[in-house]
Structure 1
Amino acid sequence: MTALRIGSRRSNLAMTQTGHVADALRAAGHDVEIVEITTEGDVNRAPLSTLGGTGVFASALRQALRDGRVDVAVHSLKDLPTAPEPDLAIAAVPARVDPRDALVARDGLTLGELPAGSVIGTGSPRRRAMLASLGLGLDFQDIRGNVETRLAMVGEQVDAVVLAAAGLRRVDLDGVVTEFLDPLQILPAPGQGALAVEVRADDAETLGAVGALDHADTRAATTAERALLARLEAGCSAPVGALAEVVEDDKGPALSLRAAVADPAGDREIRRSATGPLEDPAGLGRTLAETLLADGAGDIVADASHDPVPAPNSSSSESDT
C-alpha cells in the first residue's frame, strides 16, 4: 500500500488527535501522510447555531475523501452528522477518552462554588441548557475559538468555560480543570470523547488497514448514543446529552444508556435511561429515544431548533471533541 493520506483540520487539537491515529497506523506498519484541510467551521465566525451545527466541521473533510485528495478523514465523532453517507464508511472508532465535560473557572472554583450571576462561556446549546437547568443562577456568554483561546478568556471575559475533558487531555491541558462535571449532572454530547476514522466505502484496502483501530465497546456505546440522536431528529448542536457504557448484568455484558433533553432556558429537562443487549446498540438508542419522545422531548428539540439561544459574542470556531 502507498502512503495513507489522512485529512485533518488545522487546529492544534485536531492535528493532535489525527496524530494519534497516524501513530497507531504507523505502529501497524503503514506509511502515513497528514493533509491539512480547512472546514467551514474554521473560517466562518457565525455562531454554530446559525451555521446549522451539524456537519460544519466535517463536510470539507468528507469532500476531500470523495475527491481523492485524502484516503482517511479523522473527525470528532460528536461533530459528525448521524445521517448515513452511502459512499463513505466509519472504518474505526478508536477507544474513547474521558467523555465528560470539564469546568475551568477563575480562582480554582468548582461549579457549586461559583456565585450566582457568574458568567459561563460556552458555544454549546446543550451545555448551556443543562447548566441552566441546575438552577444555580448562572449567566452565559456564547464563545467560540480554539481551546487555548477559550481558556484565555477565563478571568478576563468570563468567570468560567466548559469544554470537553477529552480535548483538554489530548493536548495536555487537563491540569487547568477545576472540576470534571459528573454525567449525573451534565450528560455529554452523543459521541463526545470519541473519534471517527472515515474512509471511502469502496476502498477495501484502506478499510482493512483502518479497521484494526476499531474499539468494540466504544463503537457499541457511541452507536447507541448516535441512534438516539438520529431518532430524535436532533443535530450535534441540539440540547441533547447521552452516554452509554458497557456494564455487567445477570446475563453478561450489556449496554446501559442514559439520555437527557433540556430546553435552552433550562426550564425543563427530561432524563431517561435504559439497558439493552450489547449486540444491538442502535436498537437500544432508538428505544430510549421513543421513551423520550413519548414524554415530550420532541417539543423541546423542535423549540430549540426554531429559537436558538442568542449568541451575541461569537468568535472564531473550534470543536473541542
Structure 2
Amino acid sequence: MALRLGTRRSTLATTQSGLVADRLRALGHQVELVEITTEGDVNTGPLASIGGTGVFASAIRAALLAGEIDLAVHSLKDLPVAPHAGLVVAAIPPREDPRDALVARDGHTLGELPAGSVIGTGSPRRAAQLEALGLGLEITAIRGNVDTRIRHVHDGRCDAVVLARAGLARLGRTDEVTETLDPLVMLPAAGQGALAVECREDDPVRELLAQLDDADTRACVTAERELLSVLEAGCTAPLGALAEVVEDLDGVELSLRAFVGAPDGSGSLRRSLTGPVDDPRSLGARLARLLLEDGAADLVSPPVSPPRPTIQEPPA
C-alpha cells in the first residue's frame, strides 16, 4: 500500500515533497503525493496579518491527525517552534544552501543597485537587514510564489527581489541569481533550506522516516529554532539565525550566529556563540539570553508602525 505524503500545491512544495518521495522510493516504498490547500496559499495578505507562523502547515497537520495522509513535508522555517500534540518531526534530511539570494535587474549585485532602488520582499527579517545596511534602498512588500516574485523584476515593478536560494536550487533556477548574499550581510531565517518530514507520533512509519534524518542538519536547525523559542519569535519576526557544524583546534563544534533588527533599520544586534554539537538546544538558549540581555525584546516586538507599500498583482 502506498504511503500518502501530504504537501502544499505550489510548484516548490511539490518539488520538495517529490525529493522526499524519491528517497522513500529508493528504499523500496510506494509513495503517493496528496496536495492540500493551506490558509497561506489562498490568503494573499501579509503573513503577519493572517496568522504568521503556521499558516502554511495547519491544514496539512489537520489531515495528518485525521489519518487522511501518512506523512507530510514542510519547509522547516514555516513550522511553529512549539511541538504539535500527536505529531513528531521524524526526519530532517540534509539541508540545501540556507543563504538568501538576490535576483536583480541588469545582473546587479546588492552593492551595485543605486540608492532609491525598489527591493521586494515579504519578510520583515530581510527588510530589517536591508534597512540596517543603510544603502538607501526602498523596501516594498510582496507575496506570491517564486515565479510571481521574479516576475516583479522582469516587469519592472521592482529593481530586485530577495528569495531563499534553496528554493531556487530545488527548482533549477539558480541561473537567475545575481548574488548569493553572504550571511555577514544577511542571515537567513531559522531552518531556511531545511525540510521537515512529519508523521503521527504513534505511527510505525516514524521508524522508516528516521532513515532520512541528517544528524548535522538536525543539530543546526535545533539550535536555530531554540533561539526563536526562547525569544518568543515566529517566522515573521525580524530575526535571522544560522548554525553551522565547524572544526577548530579542539575538534567539531556548533557555531550559531543571530541577527535581531528593528523593521525600519533604526537598531539591530548581531551576536554569536559556539557550543557542543550534541547540545544544540543549550547553545540556542544561551545566545537568545545574550540577545535579550542586550535589548533584543524591544527589537523583536517594536511599536506598531505603518505597513510598507505593497505591490498588487495586476487584474487578470
Corresponding letter in the other structure for 1:193: G
Q: 1:17 is matched with which residue?
A: 16
Check whether the contact 1:65–1:199 (CA below 8 A) recurs between aligned residues: yes
State the distance in 1 between where 2:215 and 2:6 align.
24
Structure 1 residues 314 and 113: alpha-carbon distance in aligned structure 2, compared to 1, 3 A threshold = closer
Q: 1:91 is matched with which residue?
A: 90
Q: 1:171 is matched with which residue?
A: 171
Q: 1:119 is matched with which residue?
A: 118
Give, in angstroms, the shift of residue 315 of structure 1.
Answer: 5.4
The correspondence of residues 148-187 of structure 1 with structure 2, limited to 5 A, is: 148-155=147-154, 156-187=156-187
Check whether the contact 1:46–1:314 (CA below 8 A) recurs between aligned residues: no
Give, in angstroms, the shift of residue 38 of structure 1.
Answer: 0.3
Q: 2:307 is matched with which residue?
A: 310
State the distance in 2 between where 1:242 and 1:314 align.
28
For residues 161-217 of structure 1, the C-alpha deviation after alignment (integer angstroms, 9 at most, x for no partner) is: 0000000000011100000000011000000000000000010x2101111000000
Corresponding letter in the other structure for 1:297: A
CA RMSD of aligned residues (A): 1.2
Q: 1:140 is matched with which residue?
A: 139
Q: 1:319 is matched with which residue?
A: none
3-state DSSP of counterpart to 1:154: helix
Check whether the contact 1:47–1:311 (CA below 8 A) recurs between aligned residues: no
State the distance in 2 between where 1:72 and 1:309 align.
40
How many residue pairs end up in the alignment? 312
Q: 2:52 is matched with which residue?
A: 53
- Bigger RCO (CA 8 Å, 6+ sep): 1
- Compute the TM-score of the two structures, normalised by the length of structure 1: 0.95
Check whether the contact 1:77–1:194 (CA below 8 A) recurs between aligned residues: yes
User: Please, which runs of 5 or more residues in structure 2 have no aligned partner?
Assistant: none
3-state DSSP of counterpart to 2:289: helix
3-state DSSP of counterpart to 1:247: strand
- Compute the TM-score of the two structures, normalised by the length of structure 2: 0.97
Q: 2:273 is matched with which residue?
A: 274
For residues 298-317 of structure 1, the C-alpha deviation after alignment (integer angstroms, 9 at most, x for no partner) is: 111111xx52661442558x
Check whether the contact 1:122–1:141 (CA below 8 A) recurs between aligned residues: yes
State the distance in 2 between where 1:137 and 1:311 align.
15
Corresponding letter in the other structure for 2:233: A
3-state DSSP of counterpart to 1:153: helix
For residues 244-284 of structure 1, the C-alpha deviation after alignment (integer angstroms, 9 at most, x for no partner) is: 00011333211000001010001111000000001100110
**Runs of 4+ more than 4 Å apart:** none
For residues 39-87 of structure 1, the C-alpha deviation after alignment (integer angstroms, 9 at most, x for no partner) is: 0000012111211310010111111101111111100000100011131
3-state DSSP of counterpart to 2:153: coil
Corresponding letter in the other structure for 1:64: A
